[in-house]
Amino acid sequence: MGTVKIIDSYNSHTNTKEVWKHITRTNKETGDIVETEEIETIEYAQERFMKVNTKMFLDLMVLLTGNSRLVLSFILHNASRGSNLALVKQADAAEALRLSKATVERCFVELQKFDVIRKKEAGQWMVNPELATGCLKQYKNSLIYKYKKLRPYEPNKNIEQIGDEDNDS
Residue 158 DSSP symbol: T
Query: What would the pLDDT profile of 113-161 be if each residue is shown by its tens digit?
Result: 999 999 988 888 999 988 887 766 767 778 888 888 888 887 765 444 4
Query: What would the pLDDT profile of 57-85 be if each residue is shown by its tens digit?
Result: 888 888 998 899 999 989 988 888 778 88
Cα separation of 29 and 59, whole Å?
Answer: 71
The domain spans of the chain are 3-43, 51-149
Q: Is the pLDDT of residue 50 over 60?
A: yes
Query: What is the domain class of 51-149 according to CATH?
Result: mainly alpha
Cα separation of 67 and 74, whole Å?
Answer: 11
* Of the candidates 86, 87, 82, the residue with the CA atom closest to the CA atom of residue 134: 82
User: What is the value of pTM for the model shown?
Assistant: 0.61
* Of the candidates 154, 86, 89, the residue with the CA atom closest to the CA atom of residue 126: 86
Q: pLDDT value at position 105?
A: 95
> Distance from first CA to last CA of the chain, Å, rounded?
92
Q: Which are the contacts of 16, defined by CB distance < 8 A and separation ≥ 6?
A: 10, 41, 42, 43, 44
Q: Which of 4-8, 31-35, 87-91 has the lowest mean pLDDT?
A: 4-8
The stretch 25-50 carries a mean pLDDT of: 76
